[in-house]
Amino acid sequence: MRLGLLVSGSGSNLQAILDAAREGRLGGALPTVVISNVPGVRALERARDAGVEALEIDHRAFASRPAFDAALQDALRARAVDLVVLAGFMRLLTGDFLAAFPGRVINIHPSLLPAFPGLHAPRQALDYGARIAGCTVHFVDEGTDTGAIIAQASVEVRDDDDEEALAARILAEEHRLYPQVIRQLAERRIERAGRRVRIGVRRA
């Protein structure tokens, strides 16, 4: 399974995936290309250090979202990418892009969806008074963090937590969970049927 990883920033989840690949924990999944919509970010350095192709496709160079997504789609298809992995990619994808990779785009979000979608999820959890927070890996659809849920991991919200402390503990769970899900997908142990996701399936 050839992975195309989309990034916009420092790439700590990308690093967790690259480390898992180097240590043989991704099964048959192979990081093939890392693409950033923001030039010069740390994630591109991480990719190059791991020997993975790193590309910049600056969204500001395009007149519209569809035009940018078409360029992104072309780059991924040219490299025969099987699974698109959003690893801190801060752009919403168009329906045309998602249709080009049906059921093959995943994301990780720092909350227990459907609670607290969008930006600053740990802050949302604290403001709400949640006692449990966490992260979610999900398939991507045209909404904001509304795709079918694949897997989740939880963390306790402590009485002395601020946003930074809670976000750091959630991020540690993201680094553990995301490579695990990618391996399950590569081993065909996850199957999507509409809004439902079946775990443990393996088909020849």
The residues carrying an active-site annotation are 109
Are the C-beta atoms of residues 89 and 7 closer than 8 Å to each other?
yes
Q: What is the b/e burial string over 72-103, where b = at least 16 CB atoms within 10 angstroms of the residue's CB?
A: bbebbeeeebbbbbbbbbebebbeebbebbeb
Residues in the chain: 204
| SS3 of residue 158 by DSSP | coil
**Taking the alpha carbons of 3, 18, 149, 140 in that order, is the dihedral positive or negative?**
negative
- The full DSSP string for 71-95 is HHHHHHHHTT-SEEEESS--SPPPH
Residue 32 token pair: 């093939």
